Structure 1
Amino acid sequence: MLRPDLGWAILRVLIGLLFAGHGAQKLFGWFGGHGLSGTAGWLESWNIRPGRLWAWLLGLGEFIGGLLLALGLATPWAVLPLIASQLVAIVRVHAPKGLWIDRGGFEYNLVLVALSGFFGLYGPGRYSLDAALGLTWPQPLAFGVTLILAVLIALIALTAPGWAPRLFRQAA
């Protein structure tokens, strides 16, 4: 008989690795991605500025958050950048196109938010580094804090273009 814990682990690893791959596209140009410069330009085209700063944050958040989720390590915190990135994608890119993905809508992003939220709220399951290391998180408090921070990060990305240290500004 299959154990639910095994299915939970397979789903967590799959979602985590997909996020990590998406981050690697942004950071390194792997898997057909555009790397930091391309991602920065794309973000700027959606009025998310400065593009270079947000490309770094988005790429690192998805890459590291995805790896942590895949490993089941610090799970309530691992999903923070994953949820934040998808909230921004929903609002800025996909919401105007409606729900359904065949029209460019936010269906897929919403599924990723729901799955990330599920693991953030309920934990990574038995087959995880959190479990192996005996790490426990105060639920639902840890996920509540994570969700609030994810929404705040998304709001900053969506409403505060143009601020950043000089290091991250695009060269004219």
Structure 2
Amino acid sequence: MGWEIRMSNSRGVPYYFNADTKESSWDTPEGLNQDEVKGLPGAHYLEGSGGKPKQVRASHLLVKHSGSRRPSSWKEPNITRSKEEAIEILRGYQQQIGNDAKVFGELAAQHSDCGSHSSNGDLGLFGAGQMQKPFEEAAFALDVGQISDVVSTDSGVHLIMRTA
């Protein structure tokens, strides 16, 4: 059989891939019924019940503070700012961004305290239970292209943009 379900990096949607033949398809391969599809490796990429995605893709801009789980980053070895100062910094970025995904990525690349800064804040695909709860809830609540308000987690304060 050889079929599995993978997620397209370019489109952000699942597709079928046959590891034996290297064939790929956006549509369910002939000869597979729904029960067989549900049993394929990667079936978790398919939409869940109620149209809610099993995974989302998001980018973020993180500003850490002295109360963060690890108050250091690639650009600052010892972060001493308060949470309130971190939120103020993030609000300034929020004003610059508006709803512009390009500006979001540029600011994340320059200023995010996360290692994802090197990919404009892109965290890739993630599902339930893979991120801290407040981050996960915010990301899953966004529509594609939408940017969150300030979200606070143990890592610091974030702006989150859902990308798929």
Structure having the higher helix fraction is 1
With the shorter chain as reference, the TM-score category is: under 0.3
TM-score of the aligned structures, taking structure 2 as reference length: 0.25
Structure having the higher strand fraction is 2
Structure possessing the higher radius of gyration over alpha carbons: 2
